[in-house]
Amino acid sequence: MRSTTLFRTVATAWALACAALPAHAQGGAAWPAKPIRYIVPFSPGGVSDGVARLMAEQLSTRLGQPVIVENKPGVSGVVGTQLVARAEPDGYTVVGGTITTHAVNPFFIKSLGYDPVKDFAPVALVGMVSNALVVRADSPFNSVQQVIDAARAQPDGLTYGTAGAGTSQHLSGQLFQSISGTRLRQIIYKGGSQSMVDLIGGQIDMVFETVAAARPMIDSKRVKVLGVTAAAPLADLPGAKPLAELGLPGFEMQSWQGIFAPAGTPAPIVERLAREIGAALQSPDVRAKLLTLGVAPDGRGPAPFAQFQRSEIDKWGKVIKDAGIQAD
């Protein structure tokens, strides 16, 4: 009788102890038990925001808990990314990371406040974003080679607009210069839309703009597409060849949209998130919505995404170093 009572007492204590353990200590079985924060380190209305809202909607349905998007913009995505780097690694905070926040920011910002590799657990690569090299409709340039020839003839004479250091427009311009052996002059704007306005107005010569952002100007024939930054032709820009085939061998620049959790987030939670994101990306409706944002669906999970991130850091670190750019 005593042994039975003792067994019941121990069993009860063990059950209570297990109930008190966090979800990740039980292999993630009880996760999620409350809403999840999805931090977007950029302003509402952009590609990152659109991707986050689409993924949050999908995850809310698949996980059975609200996934709430919070925009925390500032300093090229640093503010929101820092917040997630310092968050509790319990599976209830993730961030929409990009090539800017999780690959190139360390090369431009000295006091970054986070390590894009050590402070995060890659979850999934949602998709890739390609740019198009565009000039105004009445530009004298009708080919990439003409731009290269003019840039070689007048170093720092041609201008290109960007939304700031480390953006896809800037990286595209740097890679153009690195491969062609030319020097272009960067004109920085607060947003990509103003650079397109100035392009059409003749204030600048060219912009390496995301295809989605440039689409209205392309469709209205206010700009000409000279080439695309992807390694292969894009289905939504028929006739536009990759820059790699137009006098810039090896040219490939695609920004990307991914999801990261704080380092130390339990593997079962990271894997569950990755599975649900991967499943969502198989949906024709989700894929179509991403494509309207200019994002080609990808779906790589934690390990291949981590490998891809490291390769991006190596690639762009070399381009930036070769350009003589120093972190401020």
Domain spans of the chain, in order of start: 35-128+254-322, 130-245
Which comes out higher in pLDDT, residue 163 or 275? 275
Query: What are 40's strand-pairing partners?
Result: 71
Closest CA to 94 of 46, 64, 127, 126: 126
CA distance 284 to 305: 22
Task: Note the pLDDT tens digit of each residue in 285-310.
Answer: 999 999 999 999 999 999 999 999 99
CATH number of 35-128+254-322: 3.40.190.150
Q: Is the pLDDT of residue 192 over 70?
A: no
Q: How far is CA 185 from CA 9, 129, 134, 174, 243, in A?
A: 76, 24, 16, 10, 19
CATH no., domain 130-245? 3.40.190.10
Number of H helices, E strands in the chain: 12, 10
DSSP string, 33-61: SS-EEEEESS-TTSHHHHHHHHHHHHHHH
Min mean pLDDT across 39-43, 192-196, 311-315 is at: 192-196
Chain segment 308-328, per-residue pLDDT in tens: 999 999 999 999 998 888 888
Residues near 148 by Cβ (< 8 Å), separated by ≥ 6?
180, 182, 247, 248
35-128+254-322 and 130-245 agree in CATH topology: yes
Q: Which residues contact 67 (CB under 8 A, 6 or more apart)?
A: 35, 36, 38, 55, 56, 57, 59, 60
Contact predicate 212/294, CB 8 Å: yes
Residues 6 or more apart from 327 whose CB is under 8 A from it?
A: 106, 107, 108, 109, 110
End-to-end CA separation in angstroms for the chain: 74
What's the whole-number mean pLDDT along residues 93-120? 96
Average pLDDT, the chain: 91
Q: What is the largest CA-CA distance in the chain?
A: 98
Is 192 within 8 Å of 210 (Cβ atoms)? yes
The model's pLDDT over 211-265, given as tens digits with 9 standing for 90+, comes to 988 999 999 999 999 999 999 999 889 899 999 999 999 999 999 999 999 999 9
- The structure tokens listed for 222 are 């206010």
Separation of alpha carbons 132 and 85, rounded Å: 33
2-22 confidence digits (pLDDT tens): 444 433 443 444 344 434 444
Q: Residues near 200 by Cβ (< 8 Å), separated by ≥ 6?
A: 136, 137, 217, 222, 223
- In angstroms, how far is CA 113 from the centroid of its own chain? 19
Residue 203 banded pLDDT, cuts 50, 70, 90: very high
Region at 239 (left for phi over 0; alpha for psi -120 to 50; beta for the rest): left
Token pair listed for 262: 């704080």
Q: What is the pLDDT of residue 56?
A: 99
Residue 144 CA to residue 166 CA, distance in Å, equals 23
